[in-house]
Structure 1
Amino acid sequence: MFQRSSTLAKLAVAAGLSALLLAGCVLGEGGGDARHLQPLPAKLVSQMSAKGMTQTDPIFIRIFKKESELEVWKRDRSGRFSLLKTYPMCRWSGQLGPKTREGDRQAPEGFYTVTADLMNPRSEFYLSFNLGYPNALERSQGFTGSALMVHGACTSAGCFAMTDDGVAEIFALAREAFAGGQKSFQVQALPFRMTPENMAAHRSSPNMAFWRNLKEGSDHFEATRQPPKIAACERQYVFDAAGDSSRFIAGAPCPAYEVEPAIQSLVSERHANDERRFGALTSASSTSPILAYADGGMHPSFRKMLKEMGPERLQSLVAGRVEISRPDAALLDPYGATGSSPEATGSINVR
């Protein structure tokens, strides 16, 4: 069983740490203890068994910025992946949208492959694993950045912070999957759950074309319950292309290809249904959210803890982009008290 530490204490020191971390999420090597060898909690193992999973079955991870959640999926006895557990994210930094340069505080969006050598059992942030940013597509576009992690604690400068308890479970799940023979696991880092509702709400974003490409990969998983095979060409991702993926070169023109027919049928049906819903939503409303500057967000469960710690501590961790749903309304602070801002007025939803 994981030994629980004081979550509030960890949150309290996070504000001071965040000012120090401008370029990445690594300060150096942590202690030499056996934290990375902690067994999976008995309750989680029992949940696996009930879902037809073993500790060593392969895993797959999805991260959603706006919802501040990380999902761990595991292959069950059917051969498909099923959701094992959703973890609340304590902190992510930057805005919705991809990371493009070192020091921009952006948490990345895209498709990443995590191998055993990217696991860090000596992280200064308890435990961590590197997403492998920039991937081949990002490198082909000249994107820069390093040490983009999923880690413990509750502070972020481009990373996804899960708290120590959360990352300890995720790390152990990955460790056991590697021990069972999984060579790598896929991480899909997404701006939000790729629903027609979210796509319609953010349709005016300059990132919309990129997000549509991300949604293709999300749809492949939703339709098949298998992590899609990833390739890249012409500044975009390609999913489940039949044949040898080595013929795809990020940044080069796409070769002629077809998606595996059985997969294409499932994905096309899902895409058609979502497009109908998207069309209905956009025709019903000609407006989309107005954005003001903020910095990342955190799961509501952690915001509740921070509320108990006081507004100064909250404001030091939540400083950024918000959705303004009604520009003519009074600005609300995270506690619901009305106030004003020189940048914007409106009802806000701090993420």
Structure 2
Amino acid sequence: MTATFFNRLGAVVILCWLAVGLAACASFAKGDNNRHNSPLTSGVVQGLRNMGSAPERGMVVRIFKQESVLEVWKQTASGTYNLFKTYEICTYSGDLGPKFKEGDRQSPEGFYTITPGLMNPKSAYYLSFNTGFPNKFDRVNGRSGSNLMVHGDCKSVGCYAMTDAGIAEIYALARETFKGGNTSFQLQIFPFRMTPTNLAQHASSQHIEFWKDIKEGYDYFETTKTPPVWDVCEKQYIFNPSSAGPLDPAGLCPPSIQNAYVTARQQADDAALASQVATIQQAAAKQEAEKVALQQREQAIGGFFNNVGNMFGGAAPAPTPAMSQPAAMPTTSEQRP
């Protein structure tokens, strides 16, 4: 009787343990599939409050390839944007420069508009959102590509791969921005921070004119801390155009609405860029001149020895090798007995 009771009790305990285990697995699977709805942590919410923002306010995302960072900026109560957090990019594809065609394994650069339809809650790479490539600029310039994402899983073929924890937080911030009534947020992708020094170091790049083009949008955001309105005309970006409505991407550009502070910044940067490029070119010219002078000296020395050889009716005498020093005599303790 006692043995039967304990056998039944053991069976009940085992069944309960299995039930709890299965419930935990089911809960884990459900939570895993529902990760796009994971709430922002209390620390993130408090951090937004501390900077005068909130989860539902506007958002701007900036990516810098060379620095391998992604920045999230949030709109504050004043209407301007402050940097909320910087995330390390785990990896991206290709080199500095924009994407040109499908399969070139190049991550895009430029200005993109992210809408709720570009969010991918069921991504195979944890979570993701589409960059929107090709945009209006890319299409008018004949560029092609698809499924260029910002995602997790630290793997990239033309995408920007974050850590899973990083993309989870970025995704949640975007989700709350949309819930707040914002229809989109701006994604700005640059090869590097668009300083005169960085541009001067890459002045010989085939992409320099494109980079100067998108630098106008960079300068506007850096100066005003508000995202510029961007469009495309004459097959290039235009920022804050004076005309209302979408522009013909291949048509003539209207004037831009000028901001005195942005203009002053651009003029100062242009002057600094020209000066630094001139300095780099002068240094390169000096280095080349020294290289040529060294080659000429080597040729002159070679010609001198050839002439000496001809005077003696044969090859120039080889330089006399330095006489080796006689080996030191061993000390008494080193001599054999």
Structures share a fold, TM > 0.5?
yes
In 1: Cα distance, 2:36 partner to 2:118 partner: 13
Shift of 1:40: 1.1
In 1: Cα distance, 2:45 partner to 2:53 partner: 9
Equivalent position of 1:53 in the other structure: 53
Deviations 1:183-225 (A, max 9, x none): 0011011111111111011001010001100111111111211
Shift of 1:32: 7.1
Structure possessing the higher relative contact order (Cα contacts under 8 Å, 6 or more residues apart): 1
In 1: Cα distance, 2:56 partner to 2:283 partner: 44
Equivalent position of 1:182 in the other structure: 182
In 1: Cα distance, 2:85 partner to 2:32 partner: 29
Deviations 1:250-303 (A, max 9, x none): 1x2224x23224xx31211110111122123222222899xxxxxxxxxxxxxx
Equivalent position of 1:280 in the other structure: 275
Larger Rg: 2
Letter of the 1:267 counterpart: V
Contact 1:69–1:89 (8 Å) recurs in 2 = yes
Contact 2:238–2:256 (8 Å) recurs in 1 = no
In 1: Cα distance, 2:70 partner to 2:225 partner: 17
The answer to whether residue 75 in structure 2 is matched with residue 80 in structure 1 is: no
Equivalent position of 1:249 in the other structure: 248
Q: Kindly, what percent of the aligned residue pairs are identical?
A: 47
Letter of the 1:283 counterpart: A
In 1: Cα distance, 2:283 partner to 2:195 partner: 15
Contact 1:202–1:288 (8 Å) recurs in 2 = no
Equivalent position of 2:200 in the other structure: 200
In 1: Cα distance, 2:32 partner to 2:163 partner: 19
In 2: Cα distance, 1:287 partner to 1:41 partner: 54
Shift of 1:68: 0.4
Equivalent position of 1:260 in the other structure: 257
Secondary structure, aligned partner of 1:112: strand
Alignment of 1:131-210 (within 5 A): 131-210=131-210
Contact 2:45–2:55 (8 Å) recurs in 1 = yes
In 1: Cα distance, 2:151 partner to 2:235 partner: 29
Shift of 1:245: 3.2
Contact 1:102–1:145 (8 Å) recurs in 2 = yes
Q: Give the structure with the larger helix fraction.
A: 2
In 1: Cα distance, 2:149 partner to 2:38 partner: 20
RMSD over aligned CA atoms reads 1.6
Letter of the 1:65 counterpart: K
Shift of 1:42: 1.7
Q: Residue 288 and residue 140 in structure 1: after superposition, are their counterparts in 2 closer, same or farther (change >3 A)?
A: farther
Shift of 1:243: 2.7
Equivalent position of 1:128 in the other structure: 128
In 1: Cα distance, 2:144 partner to 2:191 partner: 19
The answer to whether residue 69 in structure 2 is matched with residue 69 in structure 1 is: yes
Equivalent position of 1:35 in the other structure: 35
Secondary structure, aligned partner of 1:286: helix
> TM-score by structure 2 length?
0.73
Alignment of 1:315-334 (within 5 A): none
In terms of mean alpha carbon deviation, does 135-144 or 272-281 score higher? Answer: 272-281
Letter of the 1:258 counterpart: P
Equivalent position of 1:299 in the other structure: none
Equivalent position of 1:229 in the other structure: 229
In 2: Cα distance, 1:175 partner to 1:287 partner: 51
Q: Residue 36 and residue 288 in structure 1: after superposition, are their counterparts in 2 closer, same or farther (change >3 A)?
A: farther
Deviations 1:3-49 (A, max 9, x none): xxxxxxxxxxxxxxxxxxxxxxxxxxxx9711001111222211111
Q: Residue 181 and residue 142 in structure 1: after superposition, are their counterparts in 2 closer, same or farther (change >3 A)?
A: same
User: Unaligned stretches of 5+ in structure 2?
Assistant: 1-30, 285-337
Equivalent position of 2:335 in the other structure: none
Contact 2:48–2:55 (8 Å) recurs in 1 = yes
Equivalent position of 2:265 in the other structure: 270
Q: Would you identify which runs of 4 or more consecutive aligned residues in structure 1 move more than 3 Å?
A: none
Contact 1:231–1:245 (8 Å) recurs in 2 = no
Shift of 1:242: 1.7
Secondary structure, aligned partner of 1:82: strand
Contact 1:134–1:144 (8 Å) recurs in 2 = yes
Shift of 1:62: 0.5
User: Unaligned stretches of 5+ in structure 1?
Assistant: 1-30, 290-351
Equivalent position of 1:342 in the other structure: none
Contact 2:150–2:159 (8 Å) recurs in 1 = yes
Deviations 1:294-337 (A, max 9, x none): xxxxxxxxxxxxxxxxxxxxxxxxxxxxxxxxxxxxxxxxxxxx
